[in-house]
Amino acid sequence: MSRVAKKPIIIPEKTTVAVDKGVVSVKGPKGEMTRSFKPGIEIVVADGTVTLTLKRPEDAVLWGTYASHIKNMIQGVVSGFEKKLIIEGIGFKSDVKGTELVMSLGFSHPVKMAIPAGLKVTADKNIVSISGVDKEAVGAFAAAIRAKKKPEPYKGKGIRYENEVIRRKQGKKAA
């Protein structure tokens, strides 16, 4: 059984949560999000809290997951989510041009990525910041950027998360 879902989720001020036929809508100062949930778990909004109750025991596997999704939706519309990526390497750079992120990563061509709707991307020298209200969209776009040039352990070149530590290897020794 989930311990996360047993506790009621507190709705902060200036935030509204509405449930209609399995679709949860959350509105806040930063934006608005909607998500549909399966009917096995009852979602009730009352007295400034969201409570999840289990209808059938076989849906217990989704109980904590749904609670986490709703918490992330509320946190997203209140404060938002942000990921920062650091681009390391000589000649490696990034720039935002319109709705595209253009990066020079040592290839013979520039790497272009379309910025998804609902995300704000800024590029300053070697730091790319991705922010938005949807935690999954922010994380997925950050992972897609990192996958273009993963950090390598010998020189440390590549794209890494801000708080990620790359274990360096020694390399070949001259005899």
Domains and CATH numbers, the chain: 9-78 (3.90.930.12), 81-161 (3.90.930.12)
Sign of CA dihedral 31, 35, 138, 116: negative
**Residue partners of 152: CB distance under 8 A and separation at least 6:** 158
Report if pTM > 0.85: yes
What whole-number distance in Å separates Cα of residue 152 and Cα of residue 35?
Answer: 38
Asked if residues 145 and 159 have their Cβ atoms less than 8 Å apart, the reply is yes
Give the best-scoring range by mean pLDDT among 2-16, 53-67, 102-116: 102-116
Task: Name the band, by pLDDT with cuts 50, 70 and 90, for residue 1.
Answer: low
The residue among 167, 166, 159 whose CA lies nearest residue 85 is: 159
Q: What is the pLDDT of residue 145?
A: 96
Average pLDDT over residues 114-124: 94
What is the signed CA dihedral for 99, 94, 149, 146, rounded to 10 degrees?
A: -60
What whole-number distance in Å separates Cα of residue 152 and Cα of residue 8?
Answer: 44
Amino acid at 8: P
